[in-house]
Amino acid sequence: MTVDQTLRRTPLYGLHIALGGKMVPFAGYELPVHYEPGILKEHLHTRARAGLFDVSHMGQAALSGADPAAALETLTPADVTGLKDGQQRYALLLNREGGIKDDFMVARLAGEAALHLVVNGATKEGDFAYIAEMLRGRAELAPQPERALLALQGPAAEAVLSRHAPDAPGLAFMKAARMSVAGASAIVSRSGYTGEDGFEISVAAEDAVPVARALLDEPDVLPIGLGARDSLRLEAGLCLYGHDLNEDIDPVSANLVWSIGKRRRSEGGFPAAEKILNLIASGARQKRIGIRPEGRAPAREGTMITDKTGRIIGRITSGGFGPSVNAPVAMGYVEAEFSADGTEIELLIRGKPGRARIAPMPFVPHRYKRSDGKAG
């Protein structure tokens, strides 16, 4: 079968072709890996000015019911009932054993009873089926495949978006609201997947191209593909589901304990709560960490990590060259006793050991605009 027959397309497919996007399969869709400037220039442009990403492959849905927040808390350790109007939160969707089925965003829009969810594109059908089944009789999930999603990221994002959405600068990091963007009705959140300040913009499919063109007409904005999206999120120390997270990894091993609400730690009520709370108290056997290899050769996913005697102590789950740090960076899992920053390790790259050390993440400082006015 041809690519056209097997892969889905987002509402921006025609625009990607017109802009010279190099299209590749990703999460069941045909999406651009890069445009004419190439991954390196797209990455650095996003860090310096602003980039526009098509993330319409992500799954959007509304969760409604008598108390959708309380219902959703039976599937995630995040504090969902504590969401205030206009607030968004990062959350983990857990299976019955406490493994991570997905990571997602949940927002409570001002004056609306239903919650707005955004899940990963590669897992959205399974996520939605799981949520609908597990919450049957307590909440109703309505997927919204008719919506597109754009991400405008970078230090110029606020100035750019303010010219098309005057209400956007009023949002602080992890806040969300309905507003008009370039004349289109949108749900806008101040969030993203790059470590930079930026916004994610949900619009109806028919509005996606006009909104994208309005933003791309700004001199500070370039279209950015999947390649730079991946290198940006890796430098920011952000997980990619199916690589750094999966159903065999728990939140403690993943170093995501911060996503478990304080109230949830005392009350429980989420899948495998006793197991996860015990791991918080006693420590997990492995831990997700950052890695800085020596030299210039990147260490890719699957690279084995050893101690100085050559014993395998873990593996890399994401790795590549970090254009902003001008050096290779990686993340992965190691036995907990080797997880302290500065620990010297070795990486088996093409069968040969190479020196590396455990390093703090993010590799590039976050520049989110927080409600206190501080970046980070």
For 215-229, give the DSSP string: HHTSTTEEE--HHHH
pLDDT of amino acid 3? 45
Share of the chain above pLDDT 70, in %: 97
Domain identity same for 170 and 25: yes
How far is residue 64 CA from its own chain's centroid?
A: 24
pTM over 0.85: yes
Does residue 152 form part of some domain? yes
Range of the domain at 181: 3-53+146-235
Q: In what order do the strands lie in the sheet with 100-108?
A: 87-94, 100-108, 115-119, 59-64, 140-143
Domain identity same for 226 and 290: no
Does residue 110 form part of some domain? no
Domain identity same for 347 and 199: no
156 by DSSP, 3-state: which?
coil
Digit-coded pLDDT (tens) for 262-303: 999 999 999 999 999 999 999 999 999 999 999 999 999 999
100 by DSSP, 3-state: which?
strand
Written as one letter, the residue type at 112 is E
Digit-coded pLDDT (tens) for 317-355: 999 999 999 999 999 999 999 999 999 999 998 888 999
Please give the tally of structural domains in the chain.
2
Domain identity same for 161 and 36: yes
Domain identity same for 289 and 229: no
Domain containing residue 323: CATH number: 2.40.30.110
Domain identity same for 215 and 293: no
Domain identity same for 159 and 49: yes
Is 103:59 a contact under the CB 8 Å cutoff?
A: no
Does residue 332 form part of some domain? yes
Domain containing residue 25: CATH number: 3.30.1360.120
The set of residues, in sequence order, having a beta carbon less than 8 Å from that of 217 and lying 6+ positions away, is none
* Structure token digits, residue 179: 């507003």
Domain identity same for 179 and 320: no
Domain identity same for 32 and 167: yes
Q: Taking 70 as the threshold, does the pLDDT of residue 374 lie above it?
A: no
Q: In what order do the strands lie in the sheet with 198-204?
A: 176-181, 184-189, 198-204, 147-153, 50-54, 221-223
Share of the chain above pLDDT 90, in %: 95
Identify the bridge partners of residue 290 per DSSP, sorted by sequence position. Answer: 331, 359
